[in-house]
């Protein structure tokens, strides 16, 4: 799949970080999938088939902060060029404590980590460089996944599925609607000698066709999660847990409301640079639901 890379700059007296946070939320609602922040603005990525110039310009013209002057440059990234783009500009090895190293085949080896995951990124997002993937990985590292059935929904590169398999999950399923992500996830599973991971191309409709899961990890975006939470709930074992990420902290209330509608309660919220991961489980009749616990990750 081909992508557009939209480099957006803004002239304003307001701190760029604040502008970028709001801008990413606005763009996520019109199909943009991934963002890279810099001190001048935001670089945003969207599949060519979803890109609409009119929608982009409307969001910029109706930006909720005053005295904004935006400009942008559009660059087409062909699927075959994605590896070179990441190698030259973005994909650096990701080290999470002494526990997990995520690197590409073109990076030097760095021994000493409990888990090493090799990712050939191509056009699929999910290298660990973004806060949401990092948050998910940190959560997985704290879990006992041995013998557990695990789902990586919206798997991208398959990095979460690969980590679950390395942690000896009994059954690992990875699902993504994008054909390129599907192919890339299969390639990355083979790179890590994890050929037993079941990779499926499709949407959340595929989830309920599987046996139930102990753990479901979905790192997508707010709108898709709101749509798909009912399917996740149906596929979750009674004592299982769901981890959601791919959105900002201010999106937590609307997601929490949707979870409660489907018999789920938020157990904790972990934040990193305003991105969050929420952990939830099924509401039990005897439960007394209190405040969600929040943790910040530096």
Give the position of tokens 């969050």: 276
Give the position of tokens 């704290």: 142
pLDDT bucket at 125, cuts 50 / 70 / 90: low
Bridge partners for 264 per DSSP = 282
- What is the assigned CATH class of domain 3-77? alpha beta
Q: Are strands 41-47 and 3-11 parallel, antiparallel or unpaired?
A: antiparallel
Average pLDDT over residues 73-95: 73
- The superfamily CATH assigns to domain 132-296 is Vaccinia Virus protein VP39 (3.40.50.150)
Is the pLDDT assigned to residue 51 strictly greater than 60?
A: yes
Residue 77: which of 35, 123, 39 has the closest Cα?
A: 123
If residue 244 lies in a helix (H) or strand (E), which one and from where to where?
strand 236-248
pLDDT bucket at 240, cuts 50 / 70 / 90: very high
Express each pLDDT in 185-197 by its tens digit.
999 999 999 999 9
Q: What is the DSSP letter of 121?
A: -
SS3 227: helix
Average pLDDT over residues 241-256: 92
d(CA 106, CA 285): 52
For the ranges 50-54, 215-219, 234-238, 286-290, the lowest mean pLDDT is seen at 286-290
Q: What's the number of CA atoms in the CB half-sphere (13 Å) around residue 42?
A: 23
Contact yes or no for 292/259 (Cβ under 8 A): no
Is the pLDDT assigned to residue 91 strictly greater than 80?
A: no
Contact yes or no for 263/247 (Cβ under 8 A): no
pLDDT at 202: 92
Counting DSSP H helices and E strands in the chain, the numbers are 8, 15
Average pLDDT over residues 87-97: 75
Averaged pLDDT of the chain: 86
Average pLDDT over residues 218-245: 93
Contact yes or no for 59/27 (Cβ under 8 A): yes
Is the pLDDT assigned to residue 290 strictly greater than 50?
A: no
Contact yes or no for 169/150 (Cβ under 8 A): yes
Average pLDDT over residues 97-102: 90
Question: Whole-prediction pTM value?
Answer: 0.75
Is the pLDDT assigned to residue 57 strictly greater than 50?
A: yes
> What CA–CA distances, in Å, run from 295 to 16, 86, 146, 270?
25, 31, 25, 4
Instruction: Return the higher-pLDDT residue of 282 and 87.
Output: 282
Average pLDDT over residues 199-204: 94
Name the range with the highest mean pLDDT among 27-31, 123-127, 236-240. Answer: 236-240
Is the pLDDT assigned to residue 89 strictly greater than 70?
A: no
Domain assignments of the chain as residue spans, ordered by start: 3-77, 132-296
Average pLDDT over residues 61-70: 88
Instruction: Return the higher-pLDDT residue of 113 and 77.
Output: 113
């Amino acid at each position: 799949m081909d992508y557009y890379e939209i480099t957006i700059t803004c002239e304003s007296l307001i701190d760029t970080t604040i502008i970028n946070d709001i801008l990413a939320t606005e763009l996520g609602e019109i199909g943009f999938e991934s963002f890279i922040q810099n001190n001048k603005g935001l670089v945003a990525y969207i599949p060519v088939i979803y890109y609409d110039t009119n929608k982009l310009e409307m969001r910029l013209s109706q930006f909720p902060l005053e005295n904004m002057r935006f400009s942008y440059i559009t660059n087409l990234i062909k699927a075959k060029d994605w590896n070179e783009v990441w190698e030259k500009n973005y994909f650096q090895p990701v080290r999470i404590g002494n526990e997990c190293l995520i690197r590409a085949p073109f990076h030097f080896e760095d021994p000493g980590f409990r888990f090493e995951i090799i990712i050939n990124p191509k056009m699929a997002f999910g290298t660990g460089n973004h806060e949401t993937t990092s948050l998910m990985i940190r959560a997985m590292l704290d879990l006992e996944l041995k013998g557990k059935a695990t789902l990586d929904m919206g798997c991208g590169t398959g990095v979460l599925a690969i980590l679950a398999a390395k942690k000896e999950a009994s059954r690992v399923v990875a699902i993504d609607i994008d054909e390129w992500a599907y192919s890339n996830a299969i390639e990355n599973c083979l790179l890590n000698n994890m050929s037993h991971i079941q990779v499926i191309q499709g949407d959340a409709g595929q989830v309920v066709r599987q046996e139930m899961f102990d753990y479901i990890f979905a790192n997508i975006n707010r709108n898709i999660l709101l749509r798909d939470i009912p399917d996740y709930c149906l596929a979750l074992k009674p004592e299982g847990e769901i981890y959601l990420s791919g959105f900002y902290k201010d999106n937590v209330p609307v997601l929490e409301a949707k979870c409660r509608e489907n018999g789920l309660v938020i157990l904790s919220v972990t934040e990193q640079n305003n991105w969050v991961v929420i952990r939830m489980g099924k509401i039990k009749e005897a439960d007394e639901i209190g405040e969600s616990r929040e943790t910040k990750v530096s």
